[in-house]
């Protein structure tokens, strides 16, 4: 009789344990799905603006002098989408009749915005004097920037406009690591 009671107690204990485990699982699955729904917009918000129309090709001087343009795109900020806001800026430089190079204006050293410096035939960062050539490369050994300006992919489309695949990169690293 005593043995039967002990066996019953053990069976009840195991039943309780199983019920608690299944209950926890039932909560964990929706929680995991819910977490994915919450995290996904944040993950997407970190992605760059992608292919963006910048300016008509005709707006670029034929002599290769760089022009600075704002990058205007829809900003996806976690759960909200704001259409047509400035998300960055680029220098465009025409290097042949139908050839354009694009550089992100952000200095790879610590994130200041570089200026076009005609007297130097290049770019200069006002924060710590990193100097870059018109090709975007570091032009003076004293420059603290660990890499040249971040070049971006360019397409000249049939609509007559220059499109750039806009992206930001981490500062302070020798390699281009998407931000
Ligand atoms: S941020 Fe440009 S040189 Fe430091």
- pLDDT per residue as tens digits for the range 119-160: 999 999 999 999 999 999 999 999 999 999 999 999 999 999
**Whole-model pTM?**
0.74
Spatial CA neighbour of 137 closest among 126, 122, 125, 152 = 122
Helices (H), the chain: 2-45
State the pLDDT confidence band at 13, using cuts at 50, 70 and 90: low
Output the CA 127–ligand 1 centroid distance in Å: 5
Spatial CA neighbour of 13 closest among 2, 1, 5, 3 = 5
106: CB partners within 8 A, 6+ apart: 88, 112, 113, 114, 150, 168, 169, 171
Q: What residues form DSSP beta bridges with 88? A: 71
Locate tokens 């996806």: which residue? 76
- pLDDT per residue as tens digits for the range 132-143: 999 999 999 999
Q: Pick the residue whose CA is nearest to atom 1 on ligand 1.
A: 110
CB atoms near residue 52 (< 10 Å): 20
pLDDT at 93 over 70: yes
Q: What is the mean pLDDT of residues 108-126?
A: 97
Class of domain 50-166: mainly beta
DSSP-derived letter for residue 64 is -
Output the CA 152–ligand 1 centroid distance in Å: 19
> What are φ and ψ of residue 92, in 5° steps?
-110, 140
Instruction: Determine the Cα–Cα distance for residues 23 and 34; give it in Å rounded to an integer.
Output: 17
> What are φ and ψ of residue 100, in 5° steps?
-135, 140
**Structural tokens at position 91:** 């220098």
Q: What is the mean pLDDT of residues 76-91?
A: 87
Ligand 1, residues at Cβ distance < 6 Å: 107, 109-112, 125, 127-128, 130, 144-145
Spatial CA neighbour of 127 closest among 139, 114, 140 = 114
């Amino acid at each position: 009789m005593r043995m039967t009671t002990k066996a019953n107690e053990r069976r009840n204990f195991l039943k309780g344990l199983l019920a608690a485990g299944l209950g926890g699982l039932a909560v964990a699955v929706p929680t995991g799905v819910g977490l994915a729904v919450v995290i996904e917009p944040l993950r997407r918000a970190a992605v760059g603006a992608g292919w963006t129309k910048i300016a008509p090709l005709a707006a670029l001087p034929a002599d290769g002098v760089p022009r600075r343009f704002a990058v205007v795109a829809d900003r996806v900020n976690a759960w909200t989408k704001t259409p047509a806001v400035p998300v960055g800026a680029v220098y465009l430089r025409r290097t042949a009749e139908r050839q354009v190079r694009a550089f992100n204006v952000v200095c790879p050293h610590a994130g200041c915005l570089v200026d076009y410096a005609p007297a130097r035939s290049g770019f200069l960062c006002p924060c710590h004097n990193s100097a870059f050539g018109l090709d975007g490369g570091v032009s003076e050994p004293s420059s603290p920037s660990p890499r040249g300006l971040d070049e971006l992919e360019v397409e000249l489309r049939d609509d007559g406009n220059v499109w750039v695949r806009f992206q930001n990169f981490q500062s302070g690293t020798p390699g281009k690591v998407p931000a």
